[in-house]
Amino acid sequence: MNTVQAIDYSLRSFVEESQHMARVMFGGLRATPHAWRFRRQVAIQISRLGTSAGWVLVLAGLFIGLVLAMEWGTKLEQFGAKLLMGRIVTIGVIREIGPVLAGIMVAARTGSMVAAELGSMKVTDQIDALRALGGDPMVHLVMPRQVASVMTLLPLTLFCDLMGVIGGWLIAISLLNTPSTFYWHSALDSLQFKDLAVGFIKPIFFGWIIASISAHYGLYTRGGAAGVGSSATRAVVAGTLTVLVADFILGKLILALWG
């Protein structure tokens, strides 16, 4: 295979995979009105996704809050402004760090699980059997995982935000000798509705993106057992990078709309 043929093959593979990704993303989205009919499958996926990532996010959020407060607190203390630390930690965690951290953790923890599960079904011809019986994989497999991912990521982000703010409070009262009331007053007084809206709009998109990417790589699996492992790895990498890109795009859009 010469260079031109290799480029042509790579381009066709990229176009084919992009088309499959779009079908998965919007095929599952179009099937969302059937979510109530498949509520049992949705509930099962919520249970699996939530239990697998919940404790990880709680610990991650706590330590992110500890590190953020320690770094900013020591710097603000030099200027006599350590009382502003509650405002910095709260806004930073709720608007950016919490949603992104939750998205990355879910992409790494549950994205690989979804890709491996659907990939195993693909290589063992269970997907073809579902189609032969008149079932639609977008309705039976993709949509429940999309809905479950969105519904799970919202409370997980809330827990991550809460633990991050609590971590900042622990550093404030133990390391910086800041009165607890000052910290919470600064943290809560600085919050606005748009901060909360931004912090809870992002997980909706992140959940949909992560589930769609993971389902795409699972349904696109080729090459037997080795292909399942490859799909799981690619799902984690693609999901993590896409969360970061989506965070930037959403941040620009929100700033343009709300300022």
Q: Could you tell me if 86 and 183 are in contact, meaning their C-beta atoms sit under 8 angstroms apart?
A: yes
The answer to the question of residue 64 being in a domain is yes
The answer to the question of residue 189 being in a domain is yes
Number of structural domains in the chain = 1
- Residue 188 confidence (pLDDT): 83
The answer to the question of residue 177 being in a domain is yes
The answer to the question of residue 141 being in a domain is yes
- Residue 2 confidence (pLDDT): 59
Give the distance from CA 125 to its chain's centroid: 29
- Residue 146 confidence (pLDDT): 92
Spatial distance between the Cα atoms of 132 and 114, rounded to a whole number of angstroms: 22
Spatial distance between the Cα atoms of 215 and 119, rounded to a whole number of angstroms: 9
The answer to the question of residue 209 being in a domain is yes
The answer to the question of residue 222 being in a domain is yes
The answer to the question of residue 4 being in a domain is no
Return the SS3 of 221.
Answer: coil
Name 181's Cβ contacts closer than 8 Å, sequence gap at least 6: none
Name 90's Cβ contacts closer than 8 Å, sequence gap at least 6: 165, 168, 186, 187, 188, 190, 191
The answer to the question of residue 135 being in a domain is yes
- Residue 213 confidence (pLDDT): 92
Spatial distance between the Cα atoms of 88 and 176, rounded to a whole number of angstroms: 15
Tokens 């939750």 found at:
102
Confidence (pTM): 0.86
pLDDT in tens, the chain (259 residues): 556 555 555 666 767 777 878 888 888 888 888 888 888 988 988 888 777 677 888 888 899 888 888 887 777 666 666 667 778 888 888 888 899 999 998 888 888 888 989 998 888 888 888 888 888 889 889 999 999 999 999 888 998 899 999 998 888 888 878 888 888 888 888 788 888 888 888 999 999 999 999 999 988 888 777 888 888 889 999 999 999 999 998 888 877 777 5
| Domain encompassing residue 132 | 16-258
